[in-house]
Amino acid sequence: MFLLSAVGVSAICLTLIFMADHATPAIPIPTGGSSVDTVTQDSSVHDDRVYDSLGIQAHAVHILDVNTGETLYAKNADTALPLASITKIMTALAASEILPENSTVAISAEAVSEEGDSGFTNGEIWQARTLRDLTLVMSSNDGAHALAGAAAAFLTGQPGASSHDIVSKMNAKADELELTSMQFTNETGLDTDEQEAGAYGSAHDVSQLMAYILKNRLDVLEVTAQPTFTTTNEEGQQRIVVNTNPIVGQIPGILASKTGYSALAGGNLVVAYDAGLQHPIIITVLGSTYDDRFIDVKKLVTATDELLKNTK
């Protein structure tokens, strides 16, 4: 096992009972699917009135039937909007494609300047996958920066390589997947200033990115279906974190999720869940409020389940 230098911050130790990982098998996903700019232009065969009456606060919505590639509902789904911490999905994917499974990451003091305190301490060592899981569950800016730095160091062979080397890989991955609305400036999704976000993308492309991961790398996101995650670092210190998505336990068949929030983005949330008999559905909301993103998604899950039940 080898060591890669990265980033970190101050320590927090918690004492909750372990909640084990539960692996979810990858689901075959056809390519394709449609999207639109407005609700009235939706090419879906379904009656949009089912969704229009819900009072959704989000500026943009996209609901994808993963098996058919069909857009079940779309509202401003092709509009590029600030992604905030939904960015970390791509960060985790890019880092996972670069870092070997047996790699470790040493946290350094460099990330202390990152916004937020995720409880990491200077010098502590994590398995790369474990750090990735922690980063996604608690939406850690420190962890995202650490992963990006470690991946850049491995990629370039330079211990002090800039995390921007991985941001370029994130943009290249978006291009590879034809997610044309996605553009990343940093690995965290933090706003760069009062006018510019750290990443942009459409609700449609967020759904498509999630669909790609469900098919190809579900291991990257499966931890995000857990309300809490418990693990230990390489020194044996236990760490327990709470999911930033408080409704994961309220969505039957939840497969994965990711939150995002910033001043420019507002409240973002994407969830993937199994509507029954290996029928994965992805719901993305962008530009809601901090609290309403969760209410929006719960309403959309209920409406989608009802729609699917009535069309069987």
Give the span between the Cα atoms of 98 and 220, in whole angstroms. 13
Where b means 16+ CB within 10 Å and e means fewer, 149-162 reads bbbbbbbeeebebe
Please report where in the chains the tokens 């909640």 appear, as a residue.
19
Helices (H), 203-253: 203-216, 218-221
Centre a 10 Å sphere on the Cβ of residue 193 and count the other Cβ atoms it contains.
Answer: 8
Whether the pLDDT of residue 1 is over 50: the answer is no
Whether the pLDDT of residue 176 is over 60: the answer is yes
Task: For the chain, state the CA radius of gyration.
Answer: 19
Q: Cβ distance 292 to 57 under 8 Å?
A: yes
Task: Report, as an integer, the average pLDDT of 239-257.
Answer: 97
Helix (H) or strand (E) holding 89: helix 87-98
Could you tell me if residue 236 is left (phi over 0), alpha (psi between -120 and 50 degrees) or otherwise beta?
left
Residue-wise pLDDT tens digits, 266-286: 999 999 999 998 999 999 999
Query: pTM score, two decimals?
Result: 0.85
Q: Sorting pLDDT into bands at 50, 70 and 90, what band is 114?
A: low
Amino acid at 282: I
Whats the size of the chain, residue-wise? Answer: 312
Q: Sorting pLDDT into bands at 50, 70 and 90, what band is 46?
A: low
Instruction: Name beta bridge partners: 103.
Output: none
Among 232, 226, 262, 230, smallest CA distance to 244 is for: 226
Give the span between the Cα atoms of 269 and 271, in whole angstroms. 7
- Domains in the chain, CATH or no CATH each: 3-310 (3.40.710.10)
Whether the pLDDT of residue 4 is over 80: the answer is no
Give the span between the Cα atoms of 274 and 281, in whole angstroms. 6
Structure tokens belonging to residue 80: 């590029």
Percentages (nearest 5) of helix, strand, coil residues in the chain: 35, 20, 45
CA angle 301, 276, 48 (to 5 degrees): 40
Q: What is the pLDDT of residue 312?
A: 67
